[in-house]
Each structure stands twice: as structure tokens, then as C-alpha cells.
Chains A and B, each alone.
Chain A
């Protein structure tokens, strides 16, 4: 009786991959040991968490606090609206400049450099710099979030423009349409849906961040939040957190509607 050669294993062991997993596990233990993370500390944290949540409830809705929170939230909302609006206005030319199929190489390179700088810093860090430049208040937050908007929207808008269907543009141009006619009839319909999607997404992101810039003096709800936190008024902190979450969830529902209108 002849033995046939063994069939290859259906699920062969992938040794390089296995080593990578082991290396990852070793790294985790090494990193945990350097970070002073101990079971004891985590366990103590749990009892601390119980105290914290005990002090958070019930949320504080005294009239003076409600007034403070309302003004703060409205300012955050205004920061989000204005930074999205002006950020998008600035992103349009920047996005066109960064699109490799429309602009010369040097311009696309320069625009991409600007976008990389805008993207690499967290909005909170950018707002620290603007607080120094234009002083405390909402303006610093607006400028910081304009920078964040430009970094995100113009990068993706450049990609949208690069995917543009050239045939439609050529067809409209062949009828003798002017530059702006080409833009409105051939380019706009192609990019509008994606552009609205980007805008809505960025407004959502700006709304979340406009609640944060106040921690470093950029205006909005962040300042009352951080003050309440530092004074251990955890019941006020909870109220503010609940209002922020409610606002963001509300907008998430609205944004789905807006997207559908522009599809």
C-alpha cells in the first residue's frame, strides 16, 4: 500500500504573524510596567469612581447655573457655526489649489503643505496659540476651529475634485460655456453631495471641539465646565455633560436628514 503525500494543511501556521503577536504582547507588558499602572491603583480607582458618581447625582439645575450653561452652550454653538462657515469658504480655494489635476505642481505642493500643518495639531493646541495672539474669548476658538476645518475639508475636497469626471466638463465647455458656467453646470452637480456630506461632518466635529476650546480660554462651554471641575462641583459638571451629549445626539439625527436632502 502506497502512502499518498500528505495534503497541505488547510490552515497553515503563519510564523511571522505569530511572532508579531508575541512582540505586541511583550510591548504591552513593557509599556504597562513603565507607566506605573498597577492593579492596586485600578481597584482604588473603582471606589473613587463610586464617590465621584455619588457626587455627580443629582445634576445641578439651579437657575443661576442654568443661565451660565445656556450662555456657554450658545457661545459654543456660535463658534461651531462661524468656524464651519468661514473654514469651508477658505477650504474651497485651498482644496482646488491642492487638486493635482487642476493646479500646477508647485501650487498643489504648497497647498498640501499648508493642509498638513493645519491637520497635524489638535484644535486645542491651535487655540492656545490663538488665545495668545487675539486674546481670551470666542474669537480664538473660532480661528482655531477654522484651521481644523481647513485641514480636514480641503484635503478631502481636493480628493473629490481629483475624481471629477472630465467628460462632463469637456461637454459643457464644448458648448462655449464660460468658466463660471462650467463650474456651475459641470463641476457643482458632481461634487455637491460629497461636499455637503463633508460640511455636515465637519460641523459635527466642530461642535464637539467647540465645547473643548474653552478649557484653554477659547470661549464656549469649556470654561464653565473646567471651572466647575476644578471647584469639585461635579453635579454642575454632570449637567453640562448631559447638555453637550444631548446637543450632539440631536445634531447627529438632523445631519442624517440634511444628507438625504442633498443626495
Chain B
């Protein structure tokens, strides 16, 4: 026994496998960025006058065409608000049964659960503007198409998050109600609902906040709201009207954020 042979220990955070996986991802990122930079099609001629164009843009925007607000913007703004709100409500109505269908503790049948998940994923994969294109083709231009596209786009979001909230519900109250012989509707109303109510409101408010933003652009493809006014102003190159509309959208979005954070602190 020499006593001097202390084992040399190396402390490492990652296993070799983790190191390799990370390195591969870093390299792939670099390759993706380099490939994109080298092949992307940018027209340099347009860039020479970009500063002048930008200055010109703001010069034409200011002063805003305030007279345009009572003429066309106000009613369009109200319509946008209705589209976002009704779309959110419709989305919640459609998503509630689906989220029960997707919750593992409520639905035993894996086929039904898979079907609900499939609906959520397809709803979320398609952008709200694309949904708007489809619904404009179906219902014609106007607010109805906007409401439908907001609703269909939101089903996946609301359903997925609410389904996860349902899965986290405690089993105790549910079993207690079942033991009293309560019908299934009562188990829903008095067993599940009180447990998931905070999650429900926070999801609904979050989506409403997002939908106010999204409904502002739906009009660009004809689905009603303030986007229609924006599209008209853009096509006519009335930049002072465009500036006014952008300022109005900014104000509404900030106001919505204040309202939702106030409601969230009151309800939750």
C-alpha cells in the first residue's frame, strides 16, 4: 500500500452522449444560418434608398388624418372588438367538450383522445389569416368570416391548455361526488368546475388578448374589422390614415393588456 494513489476524479456536467447531441445541434444551427444567408434572395438595389423611404414613410404619416376616425375607423374598431370577443366565446364553446374528450382522467377511450388531439393540432397549425382566407371563401367577405377564423384558430389553444388543466384536477372531490350518487352533470359542475375555474379564466383572458391583436389584421384578406380600413388606406397610399389606424391599434392593444391584467388580478 503506497497510500499516495489518490483516485483522480473528474467531475463532468454532461455525459459524452449529451455533449455530442449538443454539438450536433450547434453545428446544425450554424449550417442552417449560413445556408439561409447565402441563398436568400435580397434585392440590394432596394436597400440603397431605404433610409429615405423610411423617412418618407413617417413624414407622410404625420400629422394623422384625424377626420378619418369618426368616418370609418371607429365603427371598424368596434367591429374588430366584436370579432375578437365573439370568436373567443365561440372557440371556448367548441373547445370545452373537446378538452374533456382529450383529458386522460375523463375519457378512457384512446381513439377519442387521439381525435381531440388531432383537431387541436390542425387548428393550431394553420395561421388565423389562412383560416380567414378559407372562411371568406365560404361565408363571403365580412365579420362572420372573421369570427369563424378567430374561433377555429383558438380551439386548439384553448382546448389543449384547458385539457391539461382538467388532467391536473384532484381525484378526491370527484370520487366523493361519485360516492354520493351524483349524476355526471353534477360531477362536472361541482367536482371539476371549481377546481379548473381559475385556469379556465386565465386561458380565456390570455386568448382574448391574443385575439384582439389577430383580429386587427384579418381585414387584410376581407374578414372584417379595422384591417379592412387599413387595407383600403394602404391601397390608396393614404399614409396619414394608415398612421392613424396603427396608432389606434396600438392604443387598443395596450388598453386590452391593462384590462386583462386587471381582470386576472381580480379573478385569480
Contact of A78 among B39, B54, B246 (CB under 8 A): B39
Contact at B144–A41, with CB atoms within 8 Å?
A: yes
- Report whether B25 and A35 are in contact in the complex, using a CB–CB cutoff of 8 Å: no
B112, CB-defined interface residue at 8 Å: no
Does residue B16 face the partner (Cβ distance < 8 Å to A)?
no
**Do the beta carbons of B36 and A81 come within 8 Å of each other?**
yes
Residue A70 at the B interface, CB < 8 A?
A: no
* Complex interface: chain B residues within 8 A of A37 (CB): 143-144, 147
Which residues in chain B, 215-256, are within 8 Å of chain A measured between CB atoms?
Answer: 216-217, 220-221, 224, 230, 234, 246, 249-250, 253-254
Which residues of chain B (101-157) have a CB below 8 Å from chain A? 121-122, 125-127, 129-130, 133-134, 137-140, 142-144, 147
Interfacial residues of chain B within 29-52, with CB under 8 A of chain A in the complex: 29, 32-33, 35-37, 39-43, 46-47, 50
Q: Which residue of A lies closest to B22 (CB)?
A: A261
Contact between A137 and B43, CB atoms less than 8 A apart: yes
Which residues in window 40-54 of A have CB below 8 A to B? 41-42, 45, 48-49, 52
How far is B142's CA from A49's CA once the two chains are assembled, in angstroms? 16
- Whether A121 contacts B25 in the complex (CB less than 8 A), given A11-B190, A34-B82, A137-B42, comes out as no
Interchain nearest-CB distance for B127 vs A (Å)? 5
Query: Residues 74-99 of chain B: 1 if any A CB is under 8 Å from the residue's CB, otherwise 0?
Result: 00001100110110010000000000
Question: By the criterion CB–CB under 8 Å, are B18 and A261 in contact?
Answer: yes
A70-90 contacts to B (CB < 8 Å): 74-75, 77-79, 81-82, 85
Smallest CB gap from B89: residue in A: A28
Main secondary structure of the interface of B (DSSP, over half): helix
Return A22 CB to nearest CB of chain B, in Å: 14
Given the interface contacts A11-B190, A37-B144, A78-B39, does A120 sit within 8 Å of B249 by beta carbon? yes
Decide: A121 and B249 in contact? CB cutoff 8 A: yes
Interface string of A231-263 (1 = CB under 8 A from B): 000100100010011001100100000100110
Q: State whether B25 touches A261 (Cβ < 8 A).
A: yes
The smallest C-beta distance from A168 to any residue of chain B, in angstroms, reads 14
A120 and B213 contact, CB distance less than 8 A = yes
Contact, CB under 8 Å: B42 / A78: no
Q: A135 CA to B54 CA in the complex, in Å?
A: 11
Asked whether A134 and B121 contact (CB < 8 A) given A82-B40, A121-B250, the answer is no
Smallest CB gap from A261: residue in B: B21
In the docked arrangement, what's the CA distance between A49 and B134, Å? Answer: 9
Give 1 or 0 for each of A9-33: 1 = CB within 8 Å of chain B CB: 0010000000000001001100110
Question: Measured between C-beta atoms, what is the minimum distance from A23 to chain B in Å?
Answer: 13
| CA distance in complex: A138, B254 (Å) | 29
With a CB–CB cut-off of 8 A, which chain B residues contact A225?
Answer: 130, 133
Task: Choose among A117, A134, A142 the residue with the greatest number of B CB atoms under 10 Å from its CB.
Answer: A134
Evaluate contact between B39 and A135: CB separation under 8 angstroms. Answer: no
Q: Does B261 contact A (CB under 8 A)?
A: no
- Which residue of B is nearest A248, CB measured? B125
CA distance A99 to B89 in the complex (A): 36
Q: Which single residue of chain B is at the shortest CB-CB distance from A211?
A: B127
Q: Is the CB of B47 within 8 A of A134?
A: yes
A179 to B116, CA, bound (A): 51
Is A241 in contact with B126, judged by CB distance below 8 angstroms?
Answer: yes
Across the interface, which residues of B come within 8 angstroms of A42, CB to CB? 139, 144
CB-nearest residue of chain B to A249 = B125
If A41-B144, A245-B126, A261-B21 touch, whether A122 touches B217 (CB-CB below 8 Å) is yes
Query: What would be 17 A-B contacts, judged by CB atoms less than 8 Å apart?
Result: A35-B82, A35-B86, A85-B29, A120-B213, A121-B250, A121-B253, A122-B216, A125-B249, A133-B50, A138-B40, A189-B13, A208-B127, A211-B130, A212-B127, A216-B220, A248-B125, A262-B25
